[in-house]
A and B are shown apart, each in its own frame.
Chain A
């Protein structure tokens, strides 16, 4: 085992584990999705709940680390997926336990007074469509550029790259080997744009233009813009790589694209983090319908609602549309993941 494998496994797992450490406290009136009095997270009652959850998180992250490391070392992608899945399930169970333990300290945060604007239009501005579709434009432009220079491509093209940017798998030049990466890009972009469209058309809007919900939605759309454009820039960069011939040494452009897209994604988290603290109004999602990070309320016509655990929006799992949409999104996600780790 070399130090690079160790480093990759660490950088994949550590940020998620750190995020999970803080996630239950990120949206201030809530503690593991339960509405609690101000300052509860620092109280003596909260400490054992937090301690149990956080130590569970560390133990499960170590288990995942071991499985991912083994999977990377012996080229067993299923082990990597198993590690990630076991960690995700364990986190769900730990969060549910903490939520149950926090219920006795609950205070009512959801109001029975509901206000709504009579504005006819959806909360859509032109830039929101740009957010949803800009990643396709980036990918399309890159694919078009490759198509225009198809004859300049080498006979054998790289189809997979290691983390250092060096190609580690090759195939004869063909439509599939050259444009396959753009298809994967389109699948990932489909996830991003579906999320954006769900947020625009499936989330509750605030009664007033300056309502917290509307500002929260705008902040999340900005984040999705960064994530969508960052990801499609990275994928486009990889798709353009074969045009550079057969690089067998360190390849600066790959790193430039990598760094630019990561910076874009990290920067775009800022607006959402700003809005992650106390909402000024009720989110109209009663406590009893939250199961850990998941929301499931058959009486709520909203398809997505702002998360109480963490940042962004989550699906209403009791909504009839979710029955079809969620498996479809998961299939696209797993398809892309399997391609990447293969």
Chain B
């Protein structure tokens, strides 16, 4: 598989934009999908957000100046799309006076594409109860094992603030998991 530099060179050759973009989609759509999916939970929402993300990547690719790595730039777009969606969802839940915890729990239990056991279900319920940005920090560090510098490049903020955010998230989840039998 071509590395990011080669793909960007093909993109800038002229007349090969579609081909280069398809290479990016093939290389990164799966990673971006799972990043989005772990943030939102449902496949349908993750699918819509992935497509919106890829459309935005196509739209803004001509302006990409390689000031950051391609994959952190792609993650930044995917994360921003998802966080915007999650904020709207939270507001909708707040306005409809639905109990957010119950709603998260029901959503995960009724998801036909969730095959985890009890402790995995509890972990993902706990993740979904975190504020959206804290959730993103936790997922990028815990599941993707990214460095704080890379997370800072995706989400913004300082390494120190991201470490604090991860610590808060980690402690909350840990406490919740300890409560289950």
Verify that A and B bind, or say they do not: no
Task: List residues of A whose CB falls within 8 A of some B CB.
Answer: none
